[in-house]
Amino acid sequence: MYSYNINSSQYNNYNTVKSVKALNVSNDEPVKDSKPSFTSNPIMTQIPFNPSFAASNLRTVLSSNDEKNKYNELTKLLDKDSRKQLNVLLKTGVLLNSESNDKSTTLDNLYKIATTPRAQGLNNIVILKDTIAAISDPHVITQQFGNIPPQYKAQVASLENGHDVNVEHSGTCVSASIEFNLADKHPAEFARFAEGLSSPAMSVKKDIKLNNLADNTLDAIWLLNAFEIPYEAKDFNKATLTFAPDKNAIVRAHIQTVDRDKLERSALDVLMQSTFMQVGSQQSYDSLTDKRAGKFNQNDKGLIEFEKTFTESVVEDKNKISVTYQTVDENARLVGYETDFNTMKKQITDTLNLGENVIIGYTQVDNNNTIINGHEITITGAKVGKDGKLIFICNDTDDNVSKPVEYSEDYLLPKIHHAALPQSVVTSDVGLVENWVEGLKTYKELKSQAQMKNSQNFQIAA
């Protein structure tokens, strides 16, 4: 937990979409805070249709000598468990899937990881096995930081000038959820990211459509500039973005390569989560301290809703709309909802039926309905329970459980503060406000608040 900023002013300021109807929360009936017991029955999980694996595109047989040679080379390098995972990826069509930004297959990128140099401090086989494991079962992806072993403390201390690097509660739930979604729904692109981020260049380029950020090209450019992500505009609707982890990520990744304990992040998790934190935090993240700066956030941990939506949009190259469901007052108190739960449920299940996961931000409250914590998890499916109500199948990167977890609709829906949904799902239900509009508004508000605070401090000092 402690992974998503829940400052009330941020929640109010970053609402990109609000539904029309409101549903009040009774003062006498606070939202329950207890977590349901974990149920591990993945056999019952209903997996939505994934367009990336349409029958016409599904290939399960190595058809060329090049593919056969790459596969055979990989099997020579892997242990028994990883070879078994690789074979399953082939039989399920994942290995030869080419739904990546440059049309390279999962196999192509795994082969590059195995046979070309990795960044200093990284190991080809470790990154290869991490990548295969994450694609085979994305539930192994975690946001749990590892400790700093004694032999590395002096080196780390010299980089951080006394700042605390013992991260007990990670703030990377948003980026870990995005990493999970990429591995789960876009395996070839996940492998391409893994190859690029672990290469000596420690970066990966991606072509995106600007109209997936904003209807107007200039507004999309404003967003790219505001988030300070390196890019090259190709034309009025295309840009090439460069994704890269922060400069200290390699230290964490090296430590996780040589000294990874059970339930800790892999070296690949480090690189992926650092990269997505960099995107969302306007290139201000530090992997050693798990802290960030940036212009859109007054908190130094995690990402806020607007930053999350931008990061999801550019990583997937899709028009993601963040729908805010909870109404939070200036005292961080949950006072109502922007829509009824049936509409909320419909929007989430409609998205699942499109073959997409739904990354949500949920809140926990105390007995006075004051928000005490926020966190991001991913809804991956749903099924009908014995009582006729929905049970949501979810992934939580912070629960130390490498399996899906199930939540009843009565438990989960009241807790959801926001959800990232395709524009097509929410257009008919809500009044849309483009992300850049809310981002610019919030930036101006925060800048004004900072200037006022600086002015007050100056007057006090005088």
Confidence (pLDDT) at 426: 82
Confidence (pLDDT) at 459: 47
Quickly list H helices, 281-339: 305-316
Distance of CA 141 to the CA centre of its chain: 11
pLDDT tens digits, one per residue of 118-134: 999 999 999 999 999 99
- CA atoms 360, 294, 320, 207: torsion sign: negative
Task: Tell me, yes or no, whether 75 lies in a domain.
Answer: yes
With H, G, I as helix, E, B as strand and everything else as coil, classify residue 229: coil
Please check whether residues 126 and 153 belong to one and the same domain.
Answer: yes
Task: Tell me, yes or no, whether 384 lies in a domain.
Answer: yes
Confidence (pLDDT) at 334: 97
Confidence (pLDDT) at 37: 36
- 189 or 447, greater pLDDT: 189
As a whole number, the mean pLDDT across the chain is 86
Confidence (pLDDT) at 427: 75
Confidence (pLDDT) at 77: 98
pLDDT tens digits, one per residue of 11-31: 332 233 443 333 444 333 434
Q: How much of the chain is in helix, strand and coil states, percent to nearest 5?
A: 45, 20, 40
Task: Tell me, yes or no, whether 458 lies in a domain.
Answer: no
Cα-Cα-Cα-Cα torsion 211, 212, 216, 218, nearest 10 degrees, comes to -100
Of 103-107, 154-158, 176-180, 227-231, the range with the lowest mean pLDDT is 154-158
- 16 or 295, greater pLDDT: 295
Q: Is 164 exposed, middle or buried (0-12, 13-18, 19+ CB in 10 A)?
A: exposed
Query: What beta strand segments (E) does 277-370 contain?
Result: 320-324, 326-328, 334-337, 358-365
% pLDDT > 90, the chain: 71
Report, as an integer, the average pLDDT of 316-324: 91
Beta carbons of 327 and 21 less than 8 angstroms apart: no
Query: Averaging pLDDT over each range in 8-12, 99-103, 162-166, which range is the top one?
Result: 99-103
Confidence (pLDDT) at 16: 38
Rounded-to-integer distance, Cα 128 and Cα 142, Å: 17
Domain end, chosen from 280, 304, 327, is at 280
Task: Tell me, yes or no, whether 286 lies in a domain.
Answer: no
Beta bridge partners of 232: 240
Confidence (pLDDT) at 53: 53
Of 51-55, 319-323, 386-390, the range with the lowest mean pLDDT is 51-55
Q: Which two tokens stand for residue 207?
A: 């072509």
Question: How many Cβ atoms are within 10 Å of 235's Cβ, its own excluded?
Answer: 8
Of 258-262, 300-304, 424-428, the range with the lowest mean pLDDT is 424-428
Our count of domains for the chain comes to: 2
Task: Tell me, yes or no, whether 154 lies in a domain.
Answer: yes
Please check whether residues 46 and 81 belong to one and the same domain.
Answer: no
Q: Which two tokens stand for residue 429?
A: 């239900």
Please check whether residues 235 and 207 belong to one and the same domain.
Answer: yes
Distance of CA 285 to the CA centre of its chain: 15
Residue 239: domain span = 54-280
- Residue 338 one-letter amino acid: E
- 358 or 431, greater pLDDT: 358
Rounded-to-integer distance, Cα 264 and Cα 143, Å: 8
Beta carbons of 95 and 229 less than 8 angstroms apart: no
Quick check: 189 pLDDT over 50?
yes
Query: Averaging pLDDT over each range in 117-121, 153-157, 209-213, which range is the top one?
Result: 117-121
Confidence (pLDDT) at 404: 97
Beta carbons of 89 and 100 less than 8 angstroms apart: no
Please check whether residues 328 and 376 belong to one and the same domain.
Answer: yes
Rounded-to-integer distance, Cα 306 and Cα 5, Å: 11
Please check whether residues 228 and 86 belong to one and the same domain.
Answer: yes
Task: Tell me, yes or no, whether 68 lies in a domain.
Answer: yes
Confidence (pLDDT) at 5: 52
Task: Tell me, yes or no, whether 15 lies in a domain.
Answer: yes
Quick check: 378 pLDDT over 80?
yes
**Residue 47: band (very low, low, confident or very high) from pLDDT cuts 50, 70, 90:** very low
Domain end, chosen from 252, 280, 308, is at 280
With H, G, I as helix, E, B as strand and everything else as coil, classify residue 381: strand
Please check whether residues 142 and 84 belong to one and the same domain.
Answer: yes
Beta carbons of 277 and 172 less than 8 angstroms apart: yes
Report, as an integer, the average pLDDT of 98-118: 98
Rounded-to-integer distance, Cα 298 and Cα 345, Å: 32
Please check whether residues 40 and 70 belong to one and the same domain.
Answer: no
pLDDT tens digits, one per residue of 36-46: 433 333 333 34
**Residue 145: band (very low, low, confident or very high) from pLDDT cuts 50, 70, 90:** very high
Please check whether residues 36 and 66 belong to one and the same domain.
Answer: no
Task: Tell me, yes or no, whether 287 lies in a domain.
Answer: no
Please check whether residues 28 and 68 belong to one and the same domain.
Answer: no
- The Cα angle at residue 318 between residues 424 and 181, in degrees rounded to 5: 105
Q: Is 61 exposed, middle or buried (0-12, 13-18, 19+ CB in 10 A)?
A: exposed
- 48 or 226, greater pLDDT: 226
HSE-CB of 457 using CA atoms within 13 angstroms: 6
Domain end, chosen from 280, 309, 339, is at 280
- 89 or 214, greater pLDDT: 89
**Residue 254: band (very low, low, confident or very high) from pLDDT cuts 50, 70, 90:** very high
Quick check: 250 pLDDT over 50?
yes
Confidence (pLDDT) at 454: 52
- 332 or 449, greater pLDDT: 332
Q: For residue 419, give the H/E element and its range.
A: strand 416-422
Confidence (pLDDT) at 236: 87
**Residue 451: band (very low, low, confident or very high) from pLDDT cuts 50, 70, 90:** low
The answer to whether the pTM exceeds 0.85 is yes
**Residue 439: band (very low, low, confident or very high) from pLDDT cuts 50, 70, 90:** low
Please check whether residues 405 and 418 belong to one and the same domain.
Answer: yes
Please check whether residues 13 and 58 belong to one and the same domain.
Answer: no
Please check whether residues 215 and 344 belong to one and the same domain.
Answer: no
